[in-house]
Amino acid sequence: MEKQTVTIYDVAREASVSMATVSRVVNGNPNVKPATRKKVLEVIDRLDYRPNAVARGLASKKTTTVGVIIPDVTNIYFSSLARGIDDVAMMYKYNIILTNSDENGGKEVQVLNTLMAKQVDGIIFMGNQVTDELREEFRRSKAPVVLAGSVDAQKTQPSVNIDYVAAVAEAVKSLIDHGNRKIAFVSGSMDQAINHDYRLKGYKKALKDAGISYDDKLVFETDYTYKAGQSLEPALAAAGATAAFVGDDELAAGVMNGLTDAGVSVPEDFEVITSNDTKLTELVRPKMSSITQPLYDIGAVAMRLLTKLMNNENVDENTVILPYGLMKRSSTK
């Protein structure tokens, strides 16, 4: 006893009008006489008719769904963006197909292809390593692609970010202003544009402005995990660092706790400043000072931008830069 689906045709028959008319009332097309509309609406209600979005998608070539590629939902930084994305997507009647990529190039390409096969109307990409292959896929896509909280050195795609260079420079400067000379730069893979082309650049700029020479012994390239941060203490000590700029909150929490566990007190003996201002900064003790970013908004604005692109509205600025700030909590003096 498979449930019988009622189609637009059934409604048309019952209301003694054509499918076209039913389609019109369903889609809010104004060219329908009120009386007719009412009649159709009643039948729709009586039959509990629900339009089939797949058929609709095939006929109209619009699916009202967008693909979202995220490194890992489990990472609060990204899930915060995702939340912003989903909220405005819903606001504009879109749905989100969400897939985790682990920032794995091969997986990203594959996912991108299945998203395109599913005829998504647009794509939001998060991940900081836009390979040539990926770029090529973006280009081939008929659906617009916007990067959220993710940079591509070649700036070929629309994107929403903050000014990482300036933000990091400012954060590092604050550390310098507190008297630190040996400041560690702790972040993820240098293959990622955000680390290599932005954060590190900001770091170097701050050093240079203060007349401190750059020393790559102070640069720590690691995983974005709590554990990785936690086990960094010996290396940090060996390098003689007295402060650290960290590129991810979870990683920073690890660094800080590792330090604390080793008897180093933060911020007295060692200052830590992190990058993403997620909830985590408030959970740990001491609370972590951080660059602040409008996480939710980055996602929201990216999605909003995407809706414009999908509608072929013309947008004045393809790469939007949102404001950042610096929040002093207790992991810095």
Partner DNA sequence: CTTTGATGTGAAAGCGTTTTCAATCTTGCG
Partner DNA sequence: CGCAAGATTGAAAACGCTTTCACATCAAAG
Listed residue (257, 249, 250) closest to 230, CA to CA = 257
User: Among its own copies, DNA, none, what binds residue 32 when CB lies within 5 to 8 Å by partner kind?
Assistant: DNA
Cβ nearer to its own copies, comparing 37 with 56: 56
Helix (H) or strand (E) holding 283: helix 280-283
Query: In this chain, which stretch among 112-120, 129-137, 166-174, 205-213 interacts with its own copies, using CB under 8 A?
Result: 112-120
Number of other CB atoms surrounding residue 136 within 10 Å = 11
Tokens in use for 214? 């750059």
Q: Please state the three-class secondary structure of 112-157 as a single string.
A: HHHHHHCCCCEEEECCCCCCHHHHHHHHHCCCCEEEECCCCCCCCC
Smallest distance from its own copies to CB 51, Å? 6
User: Residue 169 in contact with residue 202, Cβ under 8 Å?
Assistant: yes
Interface of this chain with DNA, residues 5 to 34, rule: CB under 7 A: 5, 7-9, 16-21, 23-24, 26-27, 30-33
Cβ nearer to DNA, comparing 51 with 105: 51
Query: In this chain, which stretch among 81-89, 179-187, 200-208, 301-309 interacts with its own copies, using CB under 8 A?
Result: 81-89
Residues 118-147 vs its own copies: string with x where CB under 8 A? xx--------------------x-x-----
Contacts of 142 (CB under 8 A, 6+ apart): 116
Residues 44-73 vs DNA: string with x where CB under 7 A? -----xxxx--xx-xxxx------------
User: Among DNA, its own copies, none, what binds residue 265 when CB lies within 5 to 8 Å by partner kind?
Assistant: none
Helix (H) or strand (E) holding 251: helix 249-261
Contacts of 177 (CB under 8 A, 6+ apart): none
Query: In this chain, which stretch among 1-9, 13-21, 144-152, 157-165 interacts with its own copies, using CB under 8 A?
Result: 1-9
User: Among DNA, its own copies, none, what binds residue 30 when CB lies within 5 to 8 Å by partner kind?
Assistant: DNA
Number of other CB atoms surrounding residue 21 within 10 Å = 22
Cβ nearer to its own copies, comparing 86 with 103: 86
User: Residue 272 in contact with residue 290, Cβ under 8 Å?
Assistant: no
Q: Note whether 114 binds DNA by CB under 7 A.
A: no
221 pairs with which residues across the strands? 187
Q: Please report, as ranges, the residues that interact with DNA according to CB under 7 A.
A: 5, 7-9, 16-21, 23-24, 26-27, 30-33, 35-36, 49-52, 55-56, 58-61
